[in-house]
Structure 1
Amino acid sequence: MWGIAERRGATALVLSATQTALLQTIYNEFRASNAWPTMYRVDRAFIKLKRRGGANTAAVMRDLPEGLLMRSQIRPAPIPDDEIKLTISGVAHCLGAQDDVESFVRAVRWCARQEMTREPEAGETSILVSGRQVKRAIPLALRSDPGAMDRLPILLTLHHWGCVQSGRTPDGTDWTLRLGPEVRRFSKVRSIEDFIDARVSWYEEEEQRQRPYPAVIDVPAEEVLPARAYINPRVLDQLREASGASWDTTKLVALAEELDACVQAGHVYASHAVLRALLDHVPPLFGQKSFAAVVSSHAWAKTDAKYLGRLSTFRDQADDALHRQISKMADLLMLDNLPQAAAVNALLRGCAVQLQKH
């Protein structure tokens, strides 16, 4: 089963004139605004084309071969507000897109080589690069178009190639990428076909790794290791002992205990749901209305701030666990996809400190 948008051979697909016109319409709208267009904008632009031959936008989009669009597994038929996004193979089918494609390939290859040669910051497990650094790897002829350089981070963050986090510099003037070890798979890509092959090969390896073993090996009970705690027991004790008169901590402690129990029991979706509930529960303790505000406004220590930043990106993943509807595609969430335990413990330790203040 396919859980990724990319397909080998997508750049070589022979499309009908109507299909080509639809891809070009999406790309033209993307190029004009440096943002992915909504279904409404695509439909408005497409119905004005003579080449569509009276075809319905949604029908043409539905019949496009796989590998050209980023399709939603939750809502296969897009509504007017949904953004319509092309894969890099879809972009490659469009006139005027060669510079975007070449910049994308060069940026991915450069990032992969940076991850292999540079050392991470203290306490980090990924390499941070800025947009300015990435752009310097792009030939001057390609980066002379400011619009193309504005589209580059949009294309890079749309695809899964080992970039584990994207963001902005502290002053907000530049974009950043955090590069994980898997980006090394892309160190030799020189074309979109190379990129797609590396991406699909990675997915196939992951799919193979997740298949159950053919036989179960009996292990004597005395040799079975106990499950590892997700929440540090000392942090749990700090929460239980916190005596803030202004707050009832019954639910907070229960959520922390249930999260730890769910992770130890291997309950993937329950773990995601309880962690999401925990993040939504604590903002008032920090004088905030949302978890994003907790991350950005509270005076966290430097390392804890990095941990909390990773937790703030977890909401989309939790939405995936809670709201993705059944489909013909495999759901690939695993316990390993949860935020690292150190990040959750940093949050709960901060909660205990806040409780002691009130």
Structure 2
Amino acid sequence: MTTLLNVTLTPDQRDLLEVIAAPWLARGEWPLWANVQHHFDMRGEDADAIFHSLPRVGTQTPFGAGYGFTLPMRAPVDGKDRVRLTVAASLVVPKVRPVGEQFVQALQHMIHLYTSRPMHFDQVPTIILRSEELEEALPDLPVWFFDVLPDLLSNEPTIITGGVHTSRRAWEREVTRSVLQYRRVQSVEGYIEKTCEIVVAAAAQYGPAIAVAATVAAEPERSPYIDAGLLAELETAAATNRWKVHKLIALCQGLNDAYIAENPYACAAMIRSILDHIPPVFGHTDFKHVAAQHVFSMKRNDKTHAQRLAAFKDIADDVMHRPIGHTTPRISMDDLPEPIRLNAILNEVVIVMPKSAPPTT
């Protein structure tokens, strides 16, 4: 069964989870992504690449039928967004382990509430978990845990709860039948294994489940190069102005097909075509001018992405224009730019498109 148990993380991946956990454990607040980036910037490392390399079970798309050590976030992650861990992180971050164990205790109490509810034949009772009652039922748990439990429940994909805060410390959550899936769970490992089983089964309803490697050395299946949600945003943005994105969408879809099929030549050609196609949105005729002169919304990060993509033009030219000869051409999927770079630029297209207009002919 596909699972997060026994997954081997790289030192950078483990460090990323620890950096995210630190302010949450200290103050009960998830960190802003820009601050996490800064930690890795000082070491000359790419936090975005590390974040998106973390293993997941089920689907790789954000907010789909998947589960990992963090809550999924679509690339590029905005610096003002807060990044969150899931209970699964307690498997691999020792300081988070007690939180995972406390979560399982709270879940067992929720199951007890639901299974001991009164039996009615003419109505369905609503079972409510209240913070003050939970503190009485589990007096050995730290006060801090009761403050963060609603947020944890909201981030776990297979437990359906809804509720309200009546004050900073007082809250109510509805306990639904979804908790019964965990009736036999007695440990953090049991909870995570069961959650992985549920999300993989859910992912199979929409397509083949994506297997998570037992170690980082194994080769995972590829997800689309261009995020599907981003393509939808492009179409929505174009609907309210004069820019026509039909060709751009077709090129992006062709790139996704080639990327999943692992055809590096077609991918390189598609990327080059997209970079040649979009400069007019920015008021330029060549992408190298976009990379050099455009003021991006995320100035430092996105400008770096644009400059790397502009430099990729030499490789794309080699792919498209080198004639047949006596030597075997050498290009692989590893020669392509990281997907986060082109996704960031296309996100900027979505931002800029309503503010600019196509040239008159």
State TM-score, norm by structure 1. Answer: 0.48
State TM-score, norm by structure 2. Answer: 0.48
